[in-house]
Amino acid sequence: MKVGLLCYCRNIFESDGNTVRAKRVLNELNKVHEVMLVSLGKGEAPQSENLVLLAPRWRKLWNLWLATIILRNRFDCIYCSNDWRGFFTAYLFSKFPKVVKYKVIFEAHSIVSETTKNLEGKSIKFRLSRLVEKLVIGHADYVITLSPNTLETYCRYNKNIEMIPVFVDEDLFKRSEGTKRKQHDIKSQLKYIGLIGPFGVGANKGFLEFIAGHQVEFDPRIRFVGIGKCERELTRERIIYTGYLSSVQDYITQLTRLDAVLIPSVFATTGPCNKILEAMFCSLPVFTTPKGMVALYYLEPGRDIFVFEEKELPSKINELIFDEALMRQVGNSARKAVERYYSKKVNRDKIVKVIHRVCNVKKQPATKGEV
């Protein structure tokens, strides 16, 4: 089978919720089928049969460009990885089976209208987003959601729907046994808490502002590490900035040097939060708010993760972060919880099975390279 994987994003080579999921889906599908990833990118990798990129400056031509890609290829399935724009082009051409013949699967990363309402209020954008999600979800041949709340909302529009949660490579994201802390930090009892970006966009906008507004409330032995792209750095005396990390391994190395991660969400993203799950896979205690926990199921506050109201976070972090036994206990429990529900091992075959079912593949083909 030939699968077209559509991902409309800022840049496929940068890491955010859209690109991380799309690349993980690509890695699993590519083991069984011929997959073409169609996305936006700046040319960090050469164009190839399996990677077709449109320069970000031409993003307004996305749908027109997709039309040419679809007509030049005989896809058996088009998988829209949260590509709300590209879906309309894919759906339109799927209605002309004498020209092209394929099924369209849409993967919804969150409840787009709820996210828009949190950011914009009940504006014209909110009403437009509700219309778009009804059209897209209602007309897809099959819908995949990443969390139960999205499934519950969208099953009203389409009965051909199921949940395949965010999955993380448990063999890649883990705390290294050889990670060592500086002797100075150990003697002075300094604690490092990670803030994970990119900052200034979406739900991450207020993370640095939260530290700036509450820095006097935090124990002076606590330092914060801002991981990710940041165009406007704040409170440099309390925050160490890493900048954008292009390497996944560099990102994991930064995580394993931390004592905990803080996600001070002021509104719910309505989709699973990769930054929380990845930290938990590295056995890191995570502090967040009830809104940061929305869409993250199967985790027990106090056992697997710390959940407090925004105003409580500074005092609770001060109280708990220096309790070494508790931090270690919660970090280990976090790893076990996410392994059970969000690991690649548990979820890796589900997407392939959906494609086979939708496209009426009766027998699962051998993995590439098998005899």
Q: What percent of the chain has pLDDT over 90?
A: 65
**Domain contains 366:** no
Residue 365 lies in a domain: no
161 & 12 share domain: yes
Q: Same structural domain for residues 326 and 209?
A: yes
Q: Is residue 228 in some structural domain?
A: yes
Question: Is there a single domain that holds both residue 265 and residue 337?
Answer: yes
Tracing tokens 């609770």 back to the chain, one arrives at 316
Same domain for 44 and 100? yes
CATH number, position 57: 3.40.50.2000
Q: Do 99 and 189 fall into the same domain?
A: no
* 319-339 b/e (C-beta count within 10 Å ≥ 16 → b): ebbeeeeebeebbebbbebbb
Alpha carbon distance, N-terminus to C-terminus of the chain: 18
Domain hosting 252: range is: 183-342
Question: Distance between alpha carbon 215 and the CA centroid of its chain, in Å?
Answer: 28
Could you say which residues of the chain have pLDDT below 70? Answer: 43-49, 177-188, 201-203, 235-236, 362-371
Given a contact cutoff of 8 angstroms between Cβ atoms, the answer to whether 240 and 253 are in contact is no
Instruction: Assess whether 14 and 162 both reside in one domain.
Output: yes
Predicted structure pTM score:
0.88
Same domain assignment for residues 204 and 303: yes
User: How many degrees, rounded to 5, is the angle at CA 28 between CA 141 and CA 82?
Assistant: 45
- Is the same domain home to 11 and 114? yes
Residue 40 contacts residue 10 (beta carbons within 8 Å) = yes
Write down the number of H helices and E strands in the chain: 14, 13
pLDDT at position 179, please?
55
CB 224 within 8 A of CB 238: yes
- pLDDT score of 232: 76
The widest CA-to-CA distance across the chain, in whole angstroms, is 73
Q: Which amino acid is at 302?
A: G
Residue that the structure tokens 């001070």 belong to? 264
The rounded distance, in Å, linking the Cα atoms of 280 and 131 is 36
The reply to whether 176 falls in a domain is: no
Whether residue 202 sits in one domain with residue 333: yes
1: Cβ–Cβ under 8 A, 6 or more apart, which residues? 33, 34, 76, 77, 355, 359, 361, 365
**In contact, 296 and 280? CB cutoff 8 Å:** no
178 occurs within a structural domain: no
- Residue 337 placed within a domain: yes
Query: Considering the chain, what is the average pLDDT of its residues?
Result: 88
- The contacts found for 207-210 with CB under 8 angstroms, 24 or more apart, are 207/262, 207/263, 207/264, 208/232, 208/233, 208/234, 208/235, 208/239, 209/234, 210/264, 210/266, 210/310, 210/313
